[in-house]
Chains A and B, each alone.
Chain A
Amino acid sequence: MFCLFYLQAKEALENGEVPVGCLMVYRNEILGQGRNEVNETKNATRHAEMVAIDQVLKWCHEKGRDRKEVFEHTVLYVTVEPCIMCAAALRLLNIPLVVYGCQNERFGGCGSVLNISQDDLQHTGTPFQCLGGYRAEEAVELLKTFYKAENPNAPKSKARKKQ
């Protein structure tokens, strides 16, 4: 089951998105599967985690379940350490545990750039535990493949323009 979020990441790559995929599992049931959808939606906040969160919210709505109780018992499996934004979002929803592949040196919010998962933030939900390194090499390989090809939607960097 846990390989599924790597398939999500591959699907993102095939669609020209940053290859990050995730799963949200509530009591052994997959409630959400997400992959990066930033370029598709022209919304830079549509990271895999945010997409999966929306699916869980939809599930709760359809099943008439209390979303607070559901998120408090949901584990996130994600190929890359959640960014600062997603880490804050996960806190706000009181998700207790995140299992991730490789570290996110550029944006990581679970220790790499900031430690949003553990910092003392009284008004931002509850801190969560992190387990990193699950099939990390695979996650790094996917990212490398993507960044080799460059993000076609990003504006050209100033340095490159001068050439």
Chain B
Amino acid sequence: MLCHYCDAALLEKVLEVDSNVFKHKCCSIGIMEPQCKKQKTRVLSTFTWEVTPVLSDEKLCEVELLEAFAAPIINKKQTSCLIKQLTCLYPLNNLPHIKRVRNCRDKSDHPLEIIICLLQDIPNREVSLNDLFPEGKANGLGEPFRVRIPAYQPLTRSQFEVASQHWPTTFRENKQVTDALQGHLFNTEEKAKMQTFMEKAIEAATVGKKMGMEPVGAVIVNPATDEVVAVGHDCRNGPNPLLHAVMVCIDLVAFSQGGGAFNHNKYHNCCFKAVESFPGEHAINIGKPLLPSNDHSLRGNIVNGLPYICTGYDLYVSREPCVMCAMALVHSRIRRVFYATSFPDGALGTKYKIHTKKDLNHHYDVFKGLMKDECQFLLS
């Protein structure tokens, strides 16, 4: 008799005898001993892939500019008085990121310049001080001139650099975003782990493909402990066309918490889960889990001593999730998603960016490109 997964002879370690499907115990949890040894050498090698963050359109867009009037401050002592006066006369209500006063660039006779108002605030396009200050209180201001100021607060360092060339703004740098954009977010050890998890997803996808399913596999990991919580592959060509790999994994996580809705044994034993600790941990020999311990998002993970759906968990999936799966991950409060290849109707970068949608109550980080070539090969 042969094992359902690896086709090797079944002598012992038979896990399940259900619906005429037999498999090795080691296959049922998707991990075979020799693979752990392979990982040891891989840590030292370089990676053939690179992950790129899938950022919101707001983070990626060009810096938008607004036309405004500014004027030199002739008498420096008047500055605070002028700021007060202008805040009353021309409040920049929708532009809290704009610094009203800037140091003068060319170090000419006047050291400071101040924004008077937006061009859209006044009817005439060419103005003098008298037009701008009908009550004539503009003490200490020079002749107004036109400038272009950033319409929104910069969200990335590159946006900040462009914006600053026009007018100074506030900027709260998200170090993670900066690192991610520069490709420095993950070190070699972390990448080795990520690769191991994605390999598991590919392995599952391969099993599914053999059963006539879409070649998509997924793995859900608890990054605080590096435990694999669920492994699944696409089952859409079985009894339920909505059981995409991600939906299968979400339900397996539910099972791991004492819930669950589907009988995955019935679906030709094609889905399985492993709650054992991740064996690669030992081989890779890394002390630090993928999730930094100071991450506050973990706090919401435990409710009454139990994990709450997918809070704090990471998903590795070989192909970009569709709309249904991406939204299922919002509902499940996943923490991060790593995918390999894009999908034409994909909802995490290609057609939509559901993970960054402001109206929704949960957001997650998405990275693409992890083991892209391997997964491309899977799809061919």
Residues of A at the B interface (CB closer than 8 Å) are 37-38, 40-46, 50, 53-54, 57, 61, 67, 83-89, 92-93, 106-107, 109, 113-114, 116, 119, 121-124, 153-156, 158
Closest to B242 in A: A89
How many residues of chain B get a CB closer than 8 Å to chain A's CBs?
42
CA separation between A116 and B359, bound complex, in Å?
Answer: 15
- Is the CB–CB distance between A45 and B359 below 8 Å? no
- Is the CB–CB distance between B360 and A54 below 8 Å? no
Closest to B344 in A: A123
Which single member of B241, B308, B311, B327 contacts A85 (CB below 8 Å)? B327
Q: Which residues B211-252 have CB closer than 8 A to chain A?
A: 239-242, 247, 250-251
Residues A121 and B345 in contact in the complex (CB < 8 Å), given A40-B259, A43-B261, A107-B360: yes
24 A-B pairs with C-beta separation under 8 A: A38-B331, A42-B259, A44-B310, A44-B328, A44-B333, A53-B242, A54-B261, A57-B239, A57-B240, A67-B241, A83-B331, A106-B359, A107-B360, A109-B323, A114-B357, A116-B323, A119-B351, A123-B343, A123-B344, A124-B323, A124-B324, A124-B345, A154-B303, A155-B301
- Is the CB–CB distance between A42 and B241 below 8 Å? no
Of A42, A61, A113, A154, which is in contact with the most chain B CB atoms at under 10 Å from its CB? A42
- Is the CB–CB distance between B311 and A45 below 8 Å? no
For residue A67, which residues in chain B have a CB less than 8 angstroms away from its CB?
241
B366 interface hit (Cβ, 8 Å): no
- Is the CB–CB distance between B343 and A85 below 8 Å? no
B340 interface hit (Cβ, 8 Å): no
CA separation between A87 and B259, bound complex, in Å?
Answer: 24
- Is the CB–CB distance between B303 and A155 below 8 Å? yes
Shortest distance from the beta carbon of B255 to any chain A beta carbon, whole Å: 8
CA separation between A42 and B242, bound complex, in Å?
Answer: 18
- Is the CB–CB distance between B360 and A113 below 8 Å? yes
Closest to B302 in A: A155
- Is the CB–CB distance between B360 and A43 below 8 Å? no
- Is the CB–CB distance between A84 and B247 below 8 Å? no
- Is the CB–CB distance between B254 and A84 below 8 Å? no
Residues A83 and B240 in contact in the complex (CB < 8 Å), given A37-B261, A123-B344, A155-B300: no
For residue B357, which residues in chain A have a CB less than 8 angstroms away from its CB?
113-114
